[in-house]
Amino acid sequence: MRVRVDENICQGHTLCAMAAPEIFGLRDEDGHSYVLVTGELTADQQAAANSALIGCPERAISFTD
């Protein structure tokens, strides 16, 4: 499973980076999120990413196979 952030939806609330800092980074210019992990997520990373997904007020985070 992989995680992605829709850059057109993200508003830079930073909640994902607080929930899973090993998975999500924040752009310097606008604080919008991006994914740091380029490959498949481990089980622990999936749990952290799921917490971030649940906490995202804009619903900008999604999972792909």
Do 5 and 60 contact (CB within 8 A), yes or no? yes
- Say if CB 3 and CB 23 are below 8 A apart: yes
Domain spans in the chain, listed from the N-terminal domain onward: 2-60
Fold of 2-60: Alpha-Beta Plaits (3.30.70)
Tens-level pLDDT at each residue, the chain (65 residues):
999 999 999 999 999 999 999 999 999 999 999 999 999 999 999 999 999 999 999 999 999 98
Helices marked H in 11-57: 15-19, 43-55
Q: Which amino acid is at 21?
A: P
Rounded to 5°, the CA angle 2-64-10 comes to 85
pTM (predicted TM-score):
0.93
What pairing do the DSSP bridges indicate for beta strands 33-35 and 24-26? antiparallel
